[in-house]
Structure 1
Amino acid sequence: MATKSKKEEPVILVTNDDGVTAPGIQNLVEAVRGLGKIVVVAPDKPQSGMGHAITIGSPIRLQPIQLYEGIEAYSCTGTPVDCVKLAVDKVLHRKPDICISGINHGANHSINVIYSGTMSAAVEAAIESIPSIGFSLLDYSIEADFSAAAQYARIITEMVLRKKLDKHLVLNVNIPALPFEQIKGMKICRQAYAKYQEDFLERHDPHGRRYYWLTGEFQNFDKGRDTDVWALENNYVSVVPVQFDLTNYVLKAKLEKSWKAHAKKR
């Protein structure tokens, strides 16, 4: 009697914006070992703040590297979004079952999701109908402790793999820089209205030429207790479902009513 074939294991694409050798992505790979076939495609150098940029004016190179035992990995000269595109088209030759991005060094809560290369890689995957998750740890140090972030990365990745949700799913997950036992749990949140009040420090190089250095302070204008900023300040992991459809549906409905008379063809 023929035996039932073993169910094919899911394919997990791992990427980031801090670079393929960053501690965060190494911790993420180890966190999801055993959940499926892992393939790593990540930038060859840090690409923080790159947002959804793609490379169109120069060639992109993809180099196989030996970083993780038993795991196929590639270093890419392009952006985080380039990494996802190339992974699907030239490495996997198919869509993975999930794309996970991170673990980012530093927060990607509130408005940071717009600028983040980590989250843009995840959003690009979702555009391609690949469920995706971006993970960020609220610690910018190269010596950050990723142990709690890695545990939550495994928990959340496993949940998404286990229960099929929207194929355009994107989750923005931020983890406090705390030991696992001090984190109170997870909260499903909305994105806070918070941003950096920016300042450009003006300096001069040795030749007297003026240059600028971007600085700023983070300010939260949103006092809601259902936001990602509130959750993180109160020692919860924040989970924000995000989307690439930027339509303001509330304003759309208002304009359809208030501009109705002017919208008619004359």
Structure 2
Amino acid sequence: MSKPLILVTNDDGIVAPGIRALVEVAATLGDVVVVAPDSPQSGKGHAITIHEPLRLNKVNAFPGIESWESSGTPVDCVKLAKHVILKDRNIDLCVSGINHGSNASINIIYSGTMSAAMEAALESIRSIGFSLLDYSFDADFEPAKPYIRKIMEYMLARPFQHGYLLNVNIPKLASEQIRGMKVCRQADARWIEKMIEGRDPAGRPYYWLSGDFVNNDHAEDTDIWALENGFISIVPSMHDLTNYPAIPVLKDLE
């Protein structure tokens, strides 16, 4: 029996330590192909490139692993994998990450990591986005690896009919401190944003986005609760943004 084909991508760029850790796990489960941005693309969301050509270069980023870097966004990378690099092969699983920083709660809509996974899900590919709650470049991914492998094995073993998408966030804890995994919902939280103004050497104003993450949803079935209490959060996600309860309310517009 042939090994499953696993596509690995991210938004931190092909040289980020997080994607190296993810490739190491994926390589124990199947044939791996990496297609990732050639530079950091954090916060790109579901952006795609339409006003300039995309560049694609084969690189030796991971020993023994077919690897490509693209000038595009994380979503562009998945499109290039699906329609160019692997156009004649069936992708069994797409994994994105491991992101340096949280993609829990509202962060999912800004995340290039999760948007890449969602793009694969739109193509009916089982997909997982992995994020570690540590923004540092030298983050320790070792405690997360056994859980990442378990989740990937679970997804590969089940013939989901459509592109199943999981948003997995991992607390910054030592192995013995991680209490397990929780399947949960996305917390209703948001960013209270502010623009920090400065002046460049020519005296012209510039603005730097900042803000505070505020969570007013303290129920025990949310991803934020799970992470704050030492659990890995697993949120089944989807692209459908329809506000279903509003449909009957708005029927009088017809």
TM-score, with structure 1 as normaliser: 0.93
**What's 1:53 paired with?**
47
**What's 1:101 paired with?**
96
**What's 2:133 paired with?**
138
Q: Which amino acid aligns with 1:39?
A: V
Q: Which amino acid aligns with 1:42?
A: A
CA apart distance, 1:165: 2.4
Structure 1 unaligned segments of length 5 or more: list them. 1-6
Matched, 1:248 2:243: yes
**What's 2:194 paired with?**
199
Out of 47, 67, 75, the position equivalent to 1:81 is: 75
**What's 1:121 paired with?**
116
C-alpha separation in 2, matches of 1:89 and 1:165: 22
Q: Which amino acid aligns with 1:116?
A: S
Structure 2 unaligned segments of length 5 or more: list them. none
CA apart distance, 1:253: 3.6
Q: Percent identity?
A: 58
Structure number with larger C-alpha Rg: 1
CA apart distance, 1:180: 1.7
**What's 2:86 paired with?**
92
**What's 1:110 paired with?**
105
Q: Which amino acid aligns with 2:143?
A: A
**What's 2:164 paired with?**
169
Pairs within 5 Å for 1:5-84: 7-84=1-78
1:71-108 deviations in Å (ceiling 9; x for gaps): 10001110000000000111111340010000000000
Q: Which amino acid aligns with 1:148?
A: P
Q: What is the alpha-carbon root mean square deviation over aligned residues? A: 1.1
Give the match's secondary structure for 2:115.
helix
Give the match's secondary structure for 2:138.
coil
Give the match's secondary structure for 1:120.
helix
User: What is the aligned length?
Assistant: 253
1:209-245 deviations in Å (ceiling 9; x for gaps): 1111111111102121111011000010000011011
CA apart distance, 1:166: 4.0
C-alpha separation in 1, matches of 2:185 and 2:127: 17
TM-score, with structure 2 as normaliser: 0.97
Of residues 53-62 and 157-166 in structure 1, the stretch that sits farther from structure 2 once superposed is 157-166
Structure 1 residues 96 and 24: CA distance shift in structure 2, 3 A: same
Give the match's secondary structure for 1:248.
coil
C-alpha separation in 2, matches of 1:15 and 1:62: 14
Answer whether contact 1:198 1:214 (CA < 8 A) is retained: yes
1:171-201 deviations in Å (ceiling 9; x for gaps): 0000001112211101011111111111111
